[in-house]
Amino acid sequence: MTQSSAKPAAQDGLAFERPLKELQSKIDELRNLSKDSHLDLSDEIATLEDRLQKQTAEVYSGLSPWERVNVARHADRPMTSDYVQLMLDDFVELHGDRVFGDDAAIVTGLASMDGVRFLLVGHRKGKTVKDRLACNFGCAHPEGYRKALQKMQLAVKMKLPIVSFINTPGAYPGIGAEERGQAAAIAKNILEMFEMPVPIICLVIGEGGSGGALGIGVGDRVGMLENSYYSVISPEGCAAILWKSGDKAPEAAEALKLTGSDLLRLGLVDKVLDEPLGGAHRDQKATVHGVKAQILSWLEELGKLSTEELLAQRYEKFRGMGNPHAPKKARK
């Protein structure tokens, strides 16, 4: 709660966490007290824990889209680096786009997990202040997208499937990024990913920020974590343009229909992966475990398809998104 507590109340998307935190600290207090004073407070603790459980369930089942956006941005939420550490048995990071540089905002490497090998591509946000700056807070430059492309092409050669972890507020808007063709780099990835003859799995693990997300987001299975979002524009950006005020971000988040259940209903993702009670940041290990199981099951499923089937289905999948010919009754 370092940044968010400074925000105005209306903007503070994590305000709903405060009563939960208070309850948690009360429980911790009681625990310490019972330890220090050798009093038996187990009944009281159990009651409070039960209440916390219930309240957490209640709060998280009723999150507004804007609150979910803030959970997706939570600093303790498992990031690509956490998945690398907790999920993989082996990881060989591969650096650089072979042309310009090595963008820290996208990590790529050869990965192995339960005997299954694949190429991992993921946005990297960084944990420390220094890391976050180096990663531009997960906003990749063209060289990041070109690095991803170059490594994905390697995966094709090695006949390895590709797993992509999406977690970016958006591609970086800057002078160098434009000079080096940010738009073209993203577009090229989208185009090429349609033709890669290996299974591709994409998972939005936090923020699915627009073209910056889609630049590593064309796959045979696309999933979203329960508290992630996937949007054409950030709620703040949308609010600034359509409402002429960044303060209207909560309204914009609502209007954009950017949550997992929204995208599932719109037919834009295949599945929403449940998170542990109270969000992925409350239990990283359980979150990673769920993600791992999903990846393995999808890879097994996709492994049964011929290359022709795989590519044809991938094309049809995206070809069918946003169908203006849909019968009118299905729209209402």
Partner 1 sequence: MSDMAWTRFGKKKDMPGGLWIKCESCGAMLFRKDFEQKHRVCSSCGYHFTLAARERIELTADPDSFEELWGDVKAYDVLGFVDKMPYGDKLKATKKKTGESDAVVTGFGTIKGIPCGLGVMNFAFLGGSMGMVVGEKLAMLCEAAVEREVPVVLFACSGGARMHEGAVSLMQMAKTCGALTRLNQAGQVSISVLTHPTTGGVTASFASVCDLTVAEPGALIGFAGPRVIATTIKKELPKGFQRSEFLLEKGQVDRIVARSDMRDELGRLLAYATGRDPVAAFQPDDKPDGDKSEAPDGGSPEPEPADGQPKAKAKAKAKAASRAKTSESGPELVIEAEAGAVDATPKPRARRKKKKE
> What are the residues binding partner 1 (CB under 8 A)?
169-175, 177-184, 186-188, 190-191, 194-195, 209-212, 214-215, 217-218, 230-234, 237-238, 241-243, 255-258, 262-263, 266, 268, 315, 318-319, 321-325, 328, 331
For partner 1, the closer of residues 232 and 305 by Cβ is 232
For partner 1, the closer of residues 116 and 268 by Cβ is 268
Q: How far is the CB of 326 from partner 1 (least distance, A)?
A: 8
For partner 1, the closer of residues 83 and 137 by Cβ is 137
Q: How far is the CB of 263 from partner 1 (least distance, A)?
A: 6
For partner 1, the closer of residues 122 and 215 by Cβ is 215
Q: How far is the CB of 142 from partner 1 (least distance, A)?
A: 9
For partner 1, the closer of residues 40 and 316 by Cβ is 316
Q: How far is the CB of 260 from partner 1 (least distance, A)?
A: 11
For partner 1, the closer of residues 92 and 194 by Cβ is 194
Q: How far is the CB of 204 from partner 1 (least distance, A)?
A: 10
Q: How far is the CB of 183 from partner 1 (least distance, A)?
A: 4
For partner 1, the closer of residues 83 and 165 by Cβ is 165
Q: Which residues touch 65 (CB under 8 Å, ≥6 apart)?
A: 229, 235, 250, 253, 254, 256, 257, 258, 259, 262
Q: How far is the CB of 12 from partner 1 (least distance, A)?
A: 21
